[in-house]
Amino acid sequence: MNRFGLTCTVVVSAALLALAGCGEEDSTAASAPSASASDTSTAPSAAAPSSSTGATGGASDKELCQNAKSAGDEMKGAFLTAMQSGKEPEPAVFQEIMKGLEQKMVAAATAGGDSKVAGLMRDFAAEAGKVAVAADPGTAAANPTFEKVGEDLSAACKAAGVKATF
């Protein structure tokens, strides 16, 4: 159990630091070309990638990212509460937090139809779901796939004008 606590503390600390870094780059966030979410739209509009919607319509990428950021902030708060309780949290606490994150991301992504951001949110939710059912959530959260999907979602949200780190 002590190894679990150390692993969770390291992973949670890394997650909190990543979430705390939401405002690293300011001025060029809305014009970053690397992760335009309008890749699947049929109209060739270069005017507003930050407010584009998927081919099936729905919420804009900016709205999706704001909802994803909110879910991430809630996760951060829950982790902080668990870590500040004065005793080592049980694995079930971290599993519950990650399950909540998964559910919120899936619900928010549904409003985005088939946009790139909605797809990344679903991918991120799937990885959070894997952590939620893992016997050792600390180790499960420290996998390269989860980190990559989080980086991709962060970049897409940055392009949509929302500063968030996942």
DSSP states of 92-150 as a string? HHHHHHHHHHHHHHHHHHHTTTT-HHHHHHHHHHHHHHHHHH-SSHHHHHT-HHHHHHH
Instruction: With respect to residue 138, please indicate whether it lies within any of the assigned structural domains.
Output: yes
Instruction: With respect to residue 132, please indicate whether it lies within any of the assigned structural domains.
Output: yes
Instruction: With respect to residue 118, please indicate whether it lies within any of the assigned structural domains.
Output: yes
Tens-place pLDDT, residues 58-74:
789 999 999 999 999 99
Count of domains forming the chain: 1
Instruction: With respect to residue 109, please indicate whether it lies within any of the assigned structural domains.
Output: yes
The model carries a pTM of 0.68
Instruction: With respect to residue 19, please indicate whether it lies within any of the assigned structural domains.
Output: no
Q: Give yes or no for residue 98 having a pLDDT over 90.
A: yes
Mean of the per-residue pLDDT values of the chain: 75
Tens-place pLDDT, residues 46-61:
333 334 444 445 789 9
Instruction: With respect to residue 112, please indicate whether it lies within any of the assigned structural domains.
Output: yes
Instruction: With respect to residue 36, please indicate whether it lies within any of the assigned structural domains.
Output: no
**What are the distances in angstroms from CA 17 to CA 9, 73, 80, 149?**
12, 12, 12, 17
Instruction: With respect to residue 49, please indicate whether it lies within any of the assigned structural domains.
Output: no
Q: Please state the separation of Cα 36 from the chain's center in Å.
A: 17
Domain of residue 157, residue span = 58-166
